[in-house]
Amino acid sequence: MSSEGRVRKRLTSRTASLVAIVIAVLWTTPTFGLLISSFRPELEIKTNGWWNFFGDPQVTMANYEEVLLNQGLLSYFINSLVITIPSVLFPVAFSAMAAYALAWTRFRGRDWIFIGIFALQIVPLQMALIPMLQMLSPVQEALIWPYPTATVWLAHTCFALPLGIFLLHNFISELPGDVIEAARVDGASHARIFRQVVLPLIVPALASFGIFQFLWVWNDLLVGLVFAGGGPDNAPLTVRLAEMAGSRGQEWQRLTAGAFVSIVVPLIVFLSLQRYFVRGLLAGSVKG
């Protein structure tokens, strides 16, 4: 490389780093500011900017106490957990079964069913909400079901299946065919092959879809709002937070701490399992 070229290269790499740093700062500062603020006393948050914290650090846990106990976010946190765990488990299992059938059993119309399910991914959530609610509320009343949580599980499971089947099918169909054929020849049933051969091999794929679904359900507002109602008995964190943002938009000491309570779980899941999440993303798809 000529010396002129080298100089130019260094210059571009310097501006390149600068641009990268600017983007990185822009992308992290808002969250960082919120985190700092959530630990500042109410009066401080409301009268001066969080950047003043570094000149005059005052730390308090009062905001967290206030939102978790007095504002009841702890209850909503539990609701979110109760909603999320089954809403991840069910679709992962059902998708794996369906994906196995679509990849390794032979029957007429198989490809069309697969394409049909794939296409269902694009049906917007919004298309399903009104009839599903109309259908489920009489069932709920008839059963005198005190917790609509089960309806939320059902809704999330239905909406997750097209993506789940598509993603898992991509992995399952790429398993070595001779392993499965050999097991068939040995007289193993499909149910047994699925349990003992396929499931152990697709654990990473299950994990990546599981994380995807976890983040989706934990962060969902629309399904929670429509199916869980607004009360502390069933509604997830997001519903309560959205409500607080709407009605108490200036109570920053609550909003900052509340937002962090909702962010912390997905952030931990995300940071510890990022590898699987990225793999799921790269398997490439569209979420309805």
Partner 1 sequence: MSFDFAIEGEKLMMLVYGIIGFAAVMGLLLLALGKVDSPKDRWVAIGFLAPAGILLSIGLIYPAIRTLTLSFFDSSSTSFVGLDNYVWMFTHAETRETLRNTALWVLLVPTLSTAVGLLYAVLVDRTRFESFAKSLIFMPMAISFVGAGIIWSFVYAYRPTESDQIGLANQLVVWLGGEPQQWLLEDPWNTMFLIAVLVWIQAGFAMVVLSAAIKAIPSEITEAARLDGVTSSQMFWRVTVPSIRPALIVVLVTISVGTLKVFDVVRTMTGGQFRTSVIANEMYNYAFRYDEDGKGAALAVFLFLLVTPIVFYQVRLVRQRRKEAR
For partner 1, the binding residue among 142, 143, 185, 282 (CB under 8 A) is: 282
Question: What is the closest distance, in whole angstroms, from the C-beta atom of residue 82 to partner 1 in the complex?
Answer: 5
Contacts of 23 (CB under 8 A, 6+ apart): none
Cα–Cα distance measured from residue 264 to residue 253, given in angstroms and rounded to the nearest whole number: 17
- The residue among 1 and 141 lying less far from partner 1, judged by its C-beta, is 1
The count of residues interacting with partner 1 (CB under 8 A) is 128
- The residue among 154 and 205 lying less far from partner 1, judged by its C-beta, is 154
Q: How far, in Å, are 205, 236, 263, 287 from residue 221 at the CA level?
A: 26, 8, 14, 15
Question: What is the closest distance, in whole angstroms, from the C-beta atom of residue 41 to partner 1 in the complex?
Answer: 13
- The residue among 41 and 232 lying less far from partner 1, judged by its C-beta, is 232
The residues in 180-199 that bind partner 1, with binding defined as CB under 8 A, are: 189-192, 194-195
CB atoms within 10 A of CB 156: 24
The residues in 233-252 that bind partner 1, with binding defined as CB under 8 A, are: 233, 238, 241-242, 245-246, 249, 252
For partner 1, the binding residue among 6, 9, 14, 248 (CB under 8 A) is: 9
At residue 39, φ and ψ (nearest 5 deg) are -100, 5
For partner 1, the binding residue among 102, 172, 205, 228 (CB under 8 A) is: 102
Q: Which helix (H) or strand (E) holds 124?
A: none
Question: What is the closest distance, in whole angstroms, from the C-beta atom of residue 139 to partner 1 in the complex?
Answer: 11
The residues in 132-191 that bind partner 1, with binding defined as CB under 8 A, are: 132-133, 135, 147, 149-150, 153-155, 157-159, 161-162, 165, 173, 189-191
CA neighbours closer than 13 Å in the CB half-sphere of residue 11: 6
Contacts of 262 (CB under 8 A, 6+ apart): 80, 237, 238, 241
CB atoms within 10 A of CB 242: 15
> Does residue 209 interact with partner 1 by CB under 8 A?
no
